[in-house]
């Protein structure tokens, strides 16, 4: 039996020629095996040309993820005849017929939701009764909590035959952590093409940014927790710093609806440091046995430190980041703050003395409580356009996606500070620049506070 390999790169183009090109590029870039997808090809594309690729590169040929059509089974048999491995879906009961395929070059795969999977250990045991050389379980998750059962599956069964990870953007962290924890392989998107499934990392990121081939089970894990967490620049910053300082560990996103399940899983994850973003900052402070002065002042924490798997300290580096960002703006006195959460608290606490602060939120009671705490004036959300300001601070999630703006009124102050991080800037920042206002994006705050976080996590200063 030829070696399957630890890193598989999937070519997901609808054209056969582009799948072939992506498969070749994947092997040049460091993948051990290339996967071509028959089910993703457009009608009329030459499927046989993909099978012939097996004579050139280590190849895995796959079709529909849930059921194999009769004509597809014939293609898989021809692929094996040319030297390829093939993927055969197990179906809901996990007891498929082998359809005349050689089990020595067969991946038996199961795709489904946590509810469909039930007890993962039982599912894995049932699938591993098959003579297939590899068994693959892909858990389709909608939030990080649903992926946690995989932590107890990796390395515990299969003896090198089991591949297991979660799909969906919330399952990304399992793809990074699966290989060092005992999964027989990990899948990535081949160069130049789209991911074959949501949450599938680019091959270059998996090998370079996340360094999966050099990760060890005992290496520390750092991450950022929030919900939703579609966009975050923290992994790029922290992983680059870890690499440049030659420090062990990896930094991954944790899209969790609630913080507590992630904290409970900290020992199994070998979690040593966690950045926290919306909406978990207040819960982060409440969960810690000890809070730093900045965290207590803001009533929120964006940084959690762990010792031997247990949460030891909640800190707030947002305050430091906001102060750095405010230095880039012209002098101001009247401030209108949109939002009343943890990020807004850091912004309010960072303002110089003598500022007149007005705060507004869609949640009126929350805005009023926030105003009492920081000596500000609470403004009803519908009336925010009537408040004069020199500086507008945007501390809501608005602007992360689409063209929504939380302030659909003329911008007539001196500057805008939008805490949202988005390539090219949010719609609010773009409008501010068009009108000639000073405009500062969340990436300024992000890098400044992340540098302090990195020092707290590792004891080392982030490289410049």
Q: Among the options 129, 136, 281, 414, which is catalytic? A: 281
Virtual torsion, Cα 82, 85, 90, 94, nearest 10 deg? 130
Identify the bridge partners of residue 380 per DSSP, sorted by sequence position.
361
- At 129, is the secondary structure helix, strand, or coil? coil
Q: Cα(125)–Cα(122) distance, rounded to whole angstroms?
A: 5
Residue 221 near residue 272 (C-beta atoms within 8 A)? yes
Give me the residue label for tokens 């392989």: 185
Phi, psi angle pair for 224, to nearest 5°: -125, 130
Q: Cα(8)–Cα(26) distance, rounded to whole angstroms?
A: 9
DSSP class per residue in 187-200: EEEPTTS--SSTTP
Helix (H) or strand (E) holding 47: helix 47-51
Q: Would strands 33-37 and 59-62 be described as parallel, antiparallel, or unpaired?
A: parallel
129 is catalytic: no
Q: Would strands 303-307 and 310-315 be described as parallel, antiparallel, or unpaired?
A: antiparallel
DSSP letter at 202 equals B
Helix, strand and coil content of the chain, in percent to the nearest 5, comes to: 40, 20, 40
* Active-site residue list: 281
């Amino acid at each position: 039996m030829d070696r399957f390999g630890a890193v598989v790169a999937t070519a997901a183009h609808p054209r056969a020629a582009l799948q072939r090109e992506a498969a070749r590029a994947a092997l040049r870039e460091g993948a051990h095996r290339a996967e071509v997808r028959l089910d993703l090809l457009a009608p009329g594309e030459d499927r046989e040309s993909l099978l012939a690729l097996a004579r050139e590169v280590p190849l895995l040929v796959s079709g529909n993820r849930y059921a194999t059509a009769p004509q597809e089974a014939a293609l898989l048999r021809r692929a094996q005849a040319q030297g390829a491995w093939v993927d055969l879906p197990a179906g809901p009961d996990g007891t498929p017929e082998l359809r005349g395929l050689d089990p020595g070059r067969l991946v038996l795969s199961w795709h489904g939701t946590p509810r469909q999977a039930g007890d993962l250990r039982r599912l894995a045991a049932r699938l591993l009764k098959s003579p297939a050389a590899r068994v693959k379980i892909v858990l389709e998750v909608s939030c990080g909590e649903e992926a946690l059962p995989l932590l107890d599956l990796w390395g515990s069964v299969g003896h090198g035959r089991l591949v297991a990870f979660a799909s969906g953007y919330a399952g990304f962290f399992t793809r990074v952590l699966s290989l060092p924890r005992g999964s027989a392989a990990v899948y990535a998107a081949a160069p130049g093409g789209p991911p074959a499934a949501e949450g599938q990392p680019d091959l270059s990121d998996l090998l370079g940014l996340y360094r999966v081939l050099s990760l060890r089970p005992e290496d520390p894990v750092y991450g950022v927790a929030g919900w939703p967490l579609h966009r975050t620049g923290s992994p790029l910053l922290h992983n680059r710093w870890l690499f440049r300082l030659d420090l062990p560990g990896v930094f991954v996103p944790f899209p969790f609806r609630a913080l507590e399940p992630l904290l409970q899983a900290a020992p199994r994850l070998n979690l040593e440091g966690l950045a926290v973003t919306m909406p978990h900052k207040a819960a982060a402070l409440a969960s810690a046995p000890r809070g730093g002065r900045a965290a207590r002042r803001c009533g929120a924490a964006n940084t959690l430190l762990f010792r031997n798997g247990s949460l030891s300290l909640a800190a707030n580096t947002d305050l430091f980041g906001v102060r750095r960002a405010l230095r880039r703006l012209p002098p101001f006195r009247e401030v209108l703050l949109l939002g009343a959460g943890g990020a807004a608290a850091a912004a309010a606490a960072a303002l110089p003395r003598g500022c007149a602060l007005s705060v507004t939120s869609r949640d009126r009671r929350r805005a009023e409580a926030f105003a009492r705490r920081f000596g500000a004036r609470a403004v009803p959300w519908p009336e925010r356009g009537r408040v004069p300001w020199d500086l507008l601070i945007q501390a809501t999630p608005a602007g992360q996606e689409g063209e929504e703006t939380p302030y659909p009124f003329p911008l007539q102050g001196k500057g805008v500070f939008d805490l949202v991080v988005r390539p090219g800037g949010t719609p609010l920042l773009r409008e501010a620049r068009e009108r000639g206002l000073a405009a500062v994006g969340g990436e300024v705050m992000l890098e400044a506070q992340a540098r302090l976080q990195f020092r707290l996590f590792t004891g080392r200063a982030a490289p410049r």
